[in-house]
């Protein structure tokens, strides 16, 4: 059996990093971890190919080669998914689809031969057995949330490392909190499940043995959702990094209450965590309460951000405008918080009601839903009727983006971030002189010569070389990322 695994294309979003990747000579930020895991669940006798539309095109010859085609997608990839399924079905191929978008939006997914709803660790092997007997069902619905102890090491060898900025692995699924707008708790539940230490280290071994050196994104939606298990993992993770001379720089997502646990922060620093994405959402207490984001209401959020930064971790964060209780000055308050927190990579979006979330159900009952969400909260398209005037909301959002990604504003925030981040953790050992020189040449050409904001870049460059020379590589990465976000801000008005 020849299996073709296809990953649909992402539009230009915060997480695509499309305008920053060329500086690194990369095509995509991360590989499709879900499909690499699916591949590992298939029989070893099957042949496999991966086509990631974010790094290459889907050729007719790829489709013709396959006996079966497996596709997964998130909501933001739905248009690309539809096109992939259409092309494959036109050629009479057996098409199987699954993933988060399919699970939460079954009524609007494209026609496919077999559909997987929920997590596939138990249902995919059943499908393979049914297929071999000629008894495959159209829909496979996971009846339980499986233990991650049965999740195999992803088939990392299926992707070409050279195209990606970072590799991914997953430690846990689920989150203990109850944010109204979040679909993670609907898909994966509120009781975080984790892999064992041995499983995580086996995945690190697989990446290391395959030759990867660089950033590894632990893609959990809340890495510290199960603190008891994380406390057991981190010492083993730190020991693995030390034994292998720190080949990986770690990045993850966590809840803001990470700042309350100094022991955990210290263990993460020892393990090599250098960046963490937080869901801050809003500095307005009433809006946090509306969103059921109570975990952000137990202390001063600015102090929490500073504390995390002091442990050597750059803080990235998500922010939202459009809550019913947002005051008239929400836009200025968001700008001020982002500025004072020295968060360079601030993902600001307009509230969107994702399918089958608590927010979606509430707005539906109130008659305020307008359309299915695109899954992209930065494109100024509302899928519900806000309490604030819609035009005011969109204009205010655009003013935030124009302000925080104005070059002078962004570079100043970045310099303050560099000042706050301590450099006393173990240094990653993966940079090469050639790659660094090539990236610097691209940055100097684009940002220092061709870009209209080149004066601001050179002003930033001079400050970095005089004040933060030991963080030069990080500063240039952040300069490239700022270019990406400035382009997004320009695209959205």
Number of domains in the chain: 2
In a domain, 373, yes or no: yes
Same domain, 124 and 171: no
Annotate 310-332 with b (16+ C-beta within 10 A) or e (fewer): ebbbbbbbbbbbbbbbbeeebbe
How far is residue 181's CA from residue 352's CA, in Å, rounded to a whole number? 8
Domain boundary, last residue among 376, 400, 420: 420
Q: Give the pair of three-digit tokens for residue 137.
A: 């069902």
Lowest mean pLDDT among 208-217, 367-376, 410-419: 367-376
Reply yes or no on whether the pLDDT at 439 is more than 80: yes
Check whether residue 109 and residue 192 sit in a common domain: no
Which range, of 60-74, 255-269, 310-324, 423-437, averages the lowest pLDDT? 423-437
| H/E run at residue 369 | none
pLDDT value of position 12: 85
Structure confidence at residue 432 (pLDDT): 66
How many CB atoms are closer than 10 A to CB 489? 20
pLDDT at 108: 80
Predicted confidence at residue 425, as pLDDT, reads 66
Q: Is the pTM of this model over 0.75?
A: yes
How far does Cα 176 stand from its chain's mean position?
19
Which one has a higher pLDDT value, 106 or 456?
Answer: 456
Give CA–CA dist 337/373, Å, rounded.
Answer: 27
* In a shared domain, residues 117 and 208: no
Determine the Cα–Cα distance for residues 30 and 32; give it in Å rounded to an integer. 7
The answer to whether residue 252 sits within a structural domain is yes
Res 106: pLDDT: 74
**368 and 408 in a common domain:** yes
d(CA 16, CA 352): 19
Per the domain annotation, does 444 fall within a domain? no
The per-residue pLDDT for 59 is 98
- 89 in the same domain as 182: no
Q: Is residue 25 part of a domain?
A: yes
- Same domain? 178 vs 49: no
Q: Report if residue 226 sits inside a domain.
A: yes
For residue 18, the enclosing domain spans 2-141
Domain at 72, CATH number = 3.40.50.280
Task: Judge if 372 and 279 occupy the same domain.
Answer: yes
Q: Decide: 186 and 178 in contact? Cβ < 8 Å.
A: no
Is 453 contained in some domain? Answer: no
429 — pLDDT class (breaks 50, 70, 90): low
Residue predicted with more confidence, 163 or 488: 163
Question: Distance between CA 343 and CA 123 in Å, rounded?
Answer: 41
* Structural domain ending residue among the three candidates 352, 385, 420: 420
Q: Are residues 80 and 126 in the same domain?
A: yes
Asked if 179 and 289 sit in the same domain, the reply is: yes
Which CATH number characterizes residue 192's domain?
3.20.20.70
Q: What is the pLDDT of residue 341?
A: 98
> What percentage of the chain carries pLDDT values higher than 90?
90
**Mean of per-residue pLDDT scores for the chain:** 95
The mean pLDDT value for 325-338 works out to: 98
Q: What is the pLDDT of residue 73?
A: 96
How many percent of the chain have pLDDT more than 70?
A: 98
Does some domain include residue 126?
A: yes
> Could you tell me which residues come within 8 angstroms of residue 395 by beta carbon, excluding any fewer than 6 positions away?
none
29 plus 100 within the same structural domain = yes
How does pLDDT run across 23-47, given as a tens digit for each residue? 999 999 999 999 999 999 999 999 9
């Amino acid at each position: 059996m020849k299996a073709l695994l296809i990953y649909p294309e992402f539009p230009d979003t915060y997480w695509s990093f499309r305008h920053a990747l060329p500086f690194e000579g990369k095509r995509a930020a991360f590989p499709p971890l879900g499909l690499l895991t699916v591949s590992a669940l298939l029989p070893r006798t099957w042949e496999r190919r991966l086509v990631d539309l974010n790094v290459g095109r889907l050729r007719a010859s790829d489709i013709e080669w396959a006996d079966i085609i497996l596709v997964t997608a998130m909501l933001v990839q739905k248009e690309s998914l539809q096109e992939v399924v259409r092309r494959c079905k036109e050629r009479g191929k057996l098409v199987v689809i699954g993933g988060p978008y399919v699970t939460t939006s079954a009524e609007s997914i494209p026609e496919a031969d077999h559909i997987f709803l929920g997590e596939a660790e138990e249902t995919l092997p059943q499908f393979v057995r049914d297929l071999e007997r000629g008894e495959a069902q159209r829909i496979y619905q996971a009846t339980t949330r499986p233990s991650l102890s049965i999740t195999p090491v992803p088939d990392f060898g299926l992707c070409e490392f050279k195209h990606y900025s970072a590799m991914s692995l997953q430690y846990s699924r689920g989150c203990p909190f109850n944010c109204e707008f979040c679909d993670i708790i609907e898909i994966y539940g509120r009781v975080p499940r984790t892999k064992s230490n041995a499983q995580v280290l086996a995945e690190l071994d697989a990446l290391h043995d395959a030759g990867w050196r660089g950033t590894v994104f632990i893609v959990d939606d809340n890495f510290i959702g199960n603190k008891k298990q994380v406390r057991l993992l981190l010492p083993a993770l730190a020991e693995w990094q030390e034994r292998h001379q720190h080949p990986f720089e770690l990045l993850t997502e966590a809840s803001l209450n990470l700042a309350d646990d100094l022991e955990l922060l210290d263990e993460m620093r020892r393990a090599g965590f250098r960046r963490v994405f937080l869901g801050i959402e809003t500095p307005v207490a009433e809006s946090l309460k509306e969103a059921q984001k109570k975990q952000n209401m137990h202390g001063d959020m600015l102090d929490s951000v500073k504390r995390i930064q002091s442990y050597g971790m750059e803080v990235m964060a998500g922010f939202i405008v459009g809550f019913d209780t947002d005051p008239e000055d929400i836009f200025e308050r968001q700008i001020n918080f982002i500025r004072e927190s020295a968060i360079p990579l601030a993902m600001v979006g307009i509230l969107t009601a994702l399918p089958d979330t608590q927010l979606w159900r509430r707005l539906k009952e109130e008659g305020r839903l307008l359309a299915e969400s695109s899954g992209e909260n930065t494109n100024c398209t509302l899928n519900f009727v806000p309490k604030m005037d819609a035009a005011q909301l969109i204009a205010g959002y655009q003013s935030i983006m124009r302000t925080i990604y104005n070059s002078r504003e962004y570079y100043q925030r970045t310099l303050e971030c560099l000042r706050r981040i301590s450099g006393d953790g173990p240094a990653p050992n993966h940079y090469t002189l050639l790659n660094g020189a090539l990236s610097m040449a691209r940055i100097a050409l684009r940002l220092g010569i061709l870009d209209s904001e080149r004066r601001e870049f050179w002003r930033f460059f001079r400050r970095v070389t005089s004040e933060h020379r030991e963080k030069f590589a990080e500063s240039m990465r952040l300069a490239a990322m700022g270019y990406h976000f400035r382009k997004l801000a320009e695209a959205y008005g």
